[in-house]
Structure 1
Amino acid sequence: MDNTDIEDMFQSLGPVTIKRMFGGKGIYHMGRILALEVGDEILLKADDVSAAEFEAAGARRWAYEGKKGKVINMPYWSVPDDAFDDPDIMARWVGLAYAAALRSDK
């Protein structure tokens, strides 16, 4: 996904900074990471407060296989499908991701 498309997705927050990382991109707003782009997919940050909403909307949690086959769950979730067709719905999910970023100490 190119940077212009990413910026459009997050326009409801205002300017975002996009940095290359882990073979993908980190997406930041006001110095806080709130999303990743991995394999042309945007993954939004969630936490204990918001993860259930992502799950209920059919989003998938990003996980990878670590050492010795252990599955590592990351605090990032796919964007719910209906958000791609409606800027207001996208703004809601992006806002939840930024709220999770603000609550995070990372």
Structure 2
Amino acid sequence: MAYDPDFGTWVEEHFAALGPLTIKRMFGGAAVYADGLVFALLDDGVVWLKVDDLNEPELRAAGALPFTYPGKDGRMMTMAYWSLPDTALDDPDEAVRWARGAMEAAVRKASRKPLRPR
């Protein structure tokens, strides 16, 4: 994974309609947070959006690709993130629609996690 801060600036501008975002470096890439939840990853100039069973089919139909990486045993591993569709790269309104779906997926995932005792 690789993160370019200039790409992070572009993401913040492209997704400005979502409100304030926080981008934090992680594992060579970066995570994009809104309201304290990760809804996207940034890696090598690609925006990877959080998916679940509800928004993954829509992203697949729009030509998005799954986030994959080689595992230690050589098998390809996947994560619950899919690329921002190419049509949204030049259209901030479309990009924000996809990002909102990713934010909803992040909220659904967070709501399924049991609360940690204090």
TM-score (norm 2): 0.83
Moved over 2 A (4+): none
Residues 46-90 of structure 1 show CA distances to partners (whole Å, capped at 9, x for unaligned) of 111110000000000001111212221101111111112222211
Equivalent residue, structure 1, for 2:38? 33
- Asked if 1 retains the 8 angstrom alpha-carbon contact of 2:15 and 2:92, the reply is no
Counterparts of 1:1-106 in structure 2, within 5 Å, are 1=4, 2=6, 3-105=8-110
Distance in 2, matches of 1:19 and 1:33, equals 10
- Paired amino acid for 1:38: D
TM-score (norm 1): 0.92
- Secondary structure at the aligned position of 1:68 is classed as coil
Structure possessing the higher radius of gyration over alpha carbons: 2
Aligned length: 106
Distance in 2, matches of 1:25 and 1:58, equals 23
Which structure 1 segments of 5+ residues have no match? none
- Paired amino acid for 2:52: D
- Secondary structure at the aligned position of 2:105 is classed as helix
RMSD, aligned CA:
1.3
In the TM superposition, residue 13 of structure 1 has moved relative to its aligned partner by 1.2
* % identical equivalent positions: 47
